[in-house]
Amino acid sequence: MGLGAARSSRCTRTMRIETIARRWLGLICGLALAALLAPAHAQVGYDRPGGDYTSFPLRSGDPAQCAARCERDSRCRAWAFSYPATESANAVCWLKSRVMPRLALTCCVSGVRGAGVIEPRSGPIEFAIDRVGGDYRHFDMPSDPTGRSCLLACEAEEGCRAWTYLRPGYGQPPSAACYLKNRITVPQRRSCCISGVVR
């Protein structure tokens, strides 16, 4: 092979490598841009302080109702919800004209328009789930946004098979409560509660 042919072969190889590198770089940039532009989901345990143009109490105490109100209001870009007995006696929904940065706070749920509510998944703990019935005892307890203290109370008692933690502000009296159950009942979606099955 002559000198000219060798140079031509090297140039062709270099051009192929550059083309492949450009394609990979384009793919990586495209994926990064898609991740940045993807809608942020609403998440439990986060607030978005600032940008409020209105707020109102929510009788249902369900963050999904706050998200739905934002969807119906053309001015709304984001929303935040606080559970009862955290920032006020009632559950409160704030609608926002701007998407503010998230801040981790257990009092709240927040999101942007067009995103659903995502409950945390943490093993045996069922967020926004009530297990009605089967109670053999219940007691008031300090507020625990994780519900873990009620889980531990159930694990400590031989006859306890399942539990439900009632968030503060959802019952009468409005304090938080733990319900221990001697049978496993059907889970029902309710924002008032955190539940789980132990044995």
Here the CATH number for the domain that contains residue 137 is 3.50.4.10
- Res 164 pLDDT > 50: yes
pLDDT band at 160 (very low <50, low <70, confident <90, very high): very high
Q: Is the dihedral of CA 7, 8, 11, 16 positive or negative?
A: negative
- Res 168 pLDDT > 80: yes
DSSP state letters, the chain: --HHHHHHHHHHHHHHHHHHHHHHHHHHHHHHHHHHHSPPPEEEEEE--S-EEEEEEETT--HHHHHHHHHH-TT-SEEEEE-TTTSSSSEEEEEESS-PPPEEEEEEEEEETT--EE--EETTEEEEEEE-S-EEEEEEE---TT-HHHHHHHHTSTT--EEEEEPTTSSSS-SEEEEEESS---EEEEEEEEEEE--
Mean pLDDT of 118-145: 87
Q: Is 52 in the same domain as 101?
A: yes
Average pLDDT of the chain, as a whole number: 83
Q: Is 28 in the same domain as 48?
A: no
Q: Is 114 in the same domain as 48?
A: yes
Q: Is 86 in the same domain as 54?
A: yes
Cα 69–chain centre separation: 18
Q: Is 138 in the same domain as 113?
A: no
Q: Which of 118, 137, 156 is the last residue of a domain?
A: 118
Mean pLDDT of 82-91: 88
Q: Is 55 in the same domain as 92?
A: yes
pLDDT band at 6 (very low <50, low <70, confident <90, very high): low
Confidence (pLDDT) at 86: 84
What is the per-residue pLDDT across 106-128, written as a single tens digit (0 to 9) for each?
A: 899 999 998 767 666 667 899 88
Residue where the block lists tokens 């399942």: 162
- Res 7 pLDDT > 90: no
- Res 25 pLDDT > 60: no
Cα 133–chain centre separation: 27
Residue 36 or 92, more confident: 92
Q: 115-143 burial string, b = 16+ CB within 10 Å, else e? A: bebebeeeeebbbbbbbeebbeebeebeb
Number of domains in the chain: 3
Rounded Cα distance, 79 and 69, in Å? 9
Q: Which of 67, 90, 118 is the last residue of a domain?
A: 118
Confidence (pLDDT) at 60: 85
Domain, as residue range, for 22: 1-38
Q: Is 114 in the same domain as 68?
A: yes
Q: Is 21 in the same domain as 48?
A: no
